[in-house]
Chain A
């Protein structure tokens, strides 16, 4: 079966949704989107599915994976229409200007070929398309050229206490920007603090890509093909342009699908995009498509974190909004440094150490009123959760290769994911984590509290890279707009084009990059007439 289009987008997560929506609005182009997973549960089922998640821990997005595609080290098995953003927490800070100039400013990592100022209009566009509620922090810490499209989620009583605590410690904290409607927005209702944003918002107040796909498919602007896993890209004979994508129909594996298009946009994320390029090797590109540089699947990394729980002398009421918090960029914009360390800071209310328990301090089993009284006695003081992300600079070898030992159900090598940090990053780790611990301890003292627990995690969150952008084809996979150096009609959107991972949640940055790529893709087609 052959499916023709002007633009084929591979993947249907949040970056694919950004690309598709922008192209559909602005350009006269036939757009097909191909997704390996199946459709997500519709909005009208969410309340019931959420109820079963709350009551029984059941997956509110059942069957949101494809069998046979488990990869060690991957952060999520989710593979469905909308991708991981169907279950994301919706926290949407921007990177700081420094994130794009690490080598120039600090002598570590690499500079991006674009600046924060280049990305600013696309950040704004992403925030408007998603509906991000936020407030600008102090301008010197949180630069932006226009206001957020939605007012911030109001600080709960708890968060206001914690914000003041931060002030006492000399750290400005403000409402986290979030993809949660603080007032009705584009058909989505205002948030009402159901507080299960991750993994499921029962009302649709939190943005998820299914809203975009529903609008686009109902308007006939996009054709969405699901349950089709793209196995390789094929080049035109005698040309380096991509001719078509070959996919397997998961519901009828003997059926091969071919997607022919003028332009191809890979929006499969950090793992599956480089994997597809590597799988698509052919005699002219024996190391995989777009891989003349040898950097497909390379220089991939994320941000690690340090967590702490701090007991504070004031009474808090956990449950007002556990999934909304405070953000500070104070440590993302540190000014001149003797030794590189940058991190964000996010603060939430917490129930850590304040849960009901079965045994008292004397070891006796508590029952009846005793158990409740024990719980009440232990909740007279509050607890805050602190987390700081810091960027991990990747080694060249860090990322995705083809696994010789494990295959997909269709016989292709699965990706092998191995994240390794650069020596400079490894040498900075202890210093970075110590600095973060100092911040947490200082905050605890300033608030008259104490640290209950503190730990550093090895997990690298929001991994990106693998198809880094750059001006020089010898040291990058795509140009600053996401167009691959090797194939003029092949673009990469979102996470894989990142040069460094930043030190805060990265999804909004992935979206901004994807919109920038879409702007470039759009130049191939006439403007939408109306």
Chain B
């Protein structure tokens, strides 16, 4: 299957709203917490990582770049120790973890350093297979089976994968159909089998 375009990806990323897009009134003023200011993930390294771990053959370079861009924005919008949905069946209140970005940034730099140590060149200059080999080595211990929630990923590669595969567009790509999970869709459209995903649409 040929790739989804950047346009389609951006269209299906509606549920993911970077923090900066929310009005200030939405922030919990009572807790006195402000949106975090932080260094975003390094774009070039992240893009190279995305080419290695995401389905490049199906998404194409443009699709992969779009995902990397949105993941970077998503990571920048993470609020450490935010109150999480406390669910049902428990009296527990839950709070998220610390900001994963500093650790992830260090991992991107570690990929760069290891690439130079092993191959004498930067991570971006490696071929896909060599990049994947470096990543596999680094995530071997974490790769238990399923994908975690993106913010819970210990390695940036797993976080990126978890982010991508949680997107409605990823589900559509898997099933070859416009399901549009988690998006607003007319009830009247629900009776029919989802339309086939047309390449390049």
Contacts and interface: CB of A to CB of B under 8 A. Distances in A.
Contacts, number: 194
B84 interface: yes
* Interface band, chain A: 35 or more
B142 to A, nearest CB: 8
Nearest to B86: A77
What is the predominant secondary structure among interface residues of chain A facing chain B?
loop
**Of listed A153, A356, A459, residue having the most chain B CB within 10 A:** A356
Contacts of B92: 70, 77
Interface in B17-65: 17, 21-23, 25-26, 28, 30, 52-58
8 contacts: A55-B16, A58-B79, A71-B91, A357-B146, A365-B139, A368-B132, A369-B56, A372-B55
B143 interface: yes
A72 B91 CA distance: 7
A368 B57 contact: yes
A157 B178 CA distance: 13
Interface string B76-102: 011100111110111111001000000
A193 B181 CA distance: 9
A372 B91 contact: no
Contacts of B161: 356, 358, 371
Interface string B88-118: 1111110010000000000000000000000
B88 A75 contact: yes
Interface string B180-193: 11111111101111
Contact of B17 (A51, A59, A356): A51
B77 A55 contact: yes
B179 interface: yes
A49 B55 contact: no
B173 to A, nearest CB: 7
B190 A320 contact: yes
A87 B88 CA distance: 9
Contact of A65 (B26, B52, B93): B93
A105 interface: no
A321 interface: yes
A182 B190 CA distance: 12
Interface residues of B, number: 73
B144 A320 contact: no
Contacts of A369: 55-58
Contacts of B23: 48
What is the predominant secondary structure among interface residues of chain B facing chain A?
loop
Interface of A: 45, 48-60, 62-63, 65, 70-78, 87, 153-157, 160, 182, 190-196, 198-199, 203, 317-322, 355-359, 365, 367-369, 371-373, 375-376, 379, 459, 461
B53 A154 contact: no
**Of listed B53, B85, B188, residue having the most chain A CB within 10 A:** B85
A356 B147 contact: yes
Q: What 4 pairs between A and B have smallest CB-CB spacing?
A: A319-B181, A51-B17, A372-B55, A192-B184
Contacts of B140: 365
Interface of B: 14-17, 21-23, 25-26, 28, 30, 52-58, 74, 77-79, 82-86, 88-93, 96, 128, 132, 135-136, 139-140, 143-147, 149, 151, 158, 161, 165, 168, 170-171, 173-177, 179-188, 190-194
B17 A52 contact: yes
A58 B193 contact: no
B52 A367 contact: yes
Given A50-B15, A358-B144, 6 more contacts: A45-B26, A319-B180, A320-B181, A368-B57, A368-B128, A376-B175
A51 B55 contact: no
A63 B30 CA distance: 10
A357 B175 CA distance: 15
Contact of B182 (A194, A359, A373): A194
A317 B194 contact: yes
A502 B82 CA distance: 37
Given A54-B16, A63-B28, A371 B55 contact: yes
B68 to A, nearest CB: 14
**Of listed B176, B190, B193, residue having the most chain A CB within 10 A:** B190
A203 B191 contact: no
A48 B26 contact: yes
Contacts of A154: 187-188, 190-191
